[in-house]
């Protein structure tokens, strides 16, 4: 981040975390498909569970599984 941008950033946000949260919310309002793509990426990387990914995507578990199926993404089966 350039010094000028960072100074402006500090006028409106207490820290980068708050800025990133606000930016994420704005993007998901303007482009809701990005929220689903992000949830898919988190799931594929093993960062979140299937259930948590569906919550992040704003979809029911059934709907999220269907999105994965349509995109050709295999659902990981836990053997615990």
Domain count, the chain: 2
> What does R_g of the chain's alpha carbons equal in angstroms?
16
pLDDT of residue 75: 93
- Same domain for 2 and 39, yes or no, is no
Q: Kindly report, residue by residue over 25-80, the tens digit of the pLDDT.
A: 888 889 988 999 999 999 999 999 999 999 999 999 999 999 999 999 999 887 65
Q: Which residues contact residue 64 at a Cβ distance below 8 angstroms, ignoring those fewer than 6 apart?
A: 39, 50, 53, 54, 57
Asked if residue 54 lies in contact with residue 39, where contact means CB atoms within 8 angstroms, the answer is yes
- Same domain for 41 and 16, yes or no, is no
- Same domain for 4 and 17, yes or no, is yes
Residue 73: which domain range? 31-80
**Residue 14 binned pLDDT confidence (cut-offs 50, 70, 90):** confident
- Same domain for 24 and 41, yes or no, is no
More reliable by pLDDT, 69 or 20: 69
Is the pTM higher than 0.75?
no
Rounded to whole angstroms, the Cα distance separating 7 from 4 reads: 5
- Same domain for 42 and 80, yes or no, is yes
- Same domain for 26 and 39, yes or no, is no
Asked if residue 51 lies in contact with residue 57, where contact means CB atoms within 8 angstroms, the answer is no
């Amino acid at each position: 981040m350039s010094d000028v941008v960072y100074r402006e950033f500090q006028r409106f946000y207490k820290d980068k975390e708050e800025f990133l949260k606000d930016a994420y919310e704005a993007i998901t309002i303007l482009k809701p498909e990005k929220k689903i793509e992000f949830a898919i990426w988190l799931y594929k990387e093993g960062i979140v569970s299937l259930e948590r990914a569906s919550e992040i995507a704003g979809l029911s578990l059934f709907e999220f599984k269907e999105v994965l199926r349509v995109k050709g993404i295999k659902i990981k089966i836990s053997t615990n």
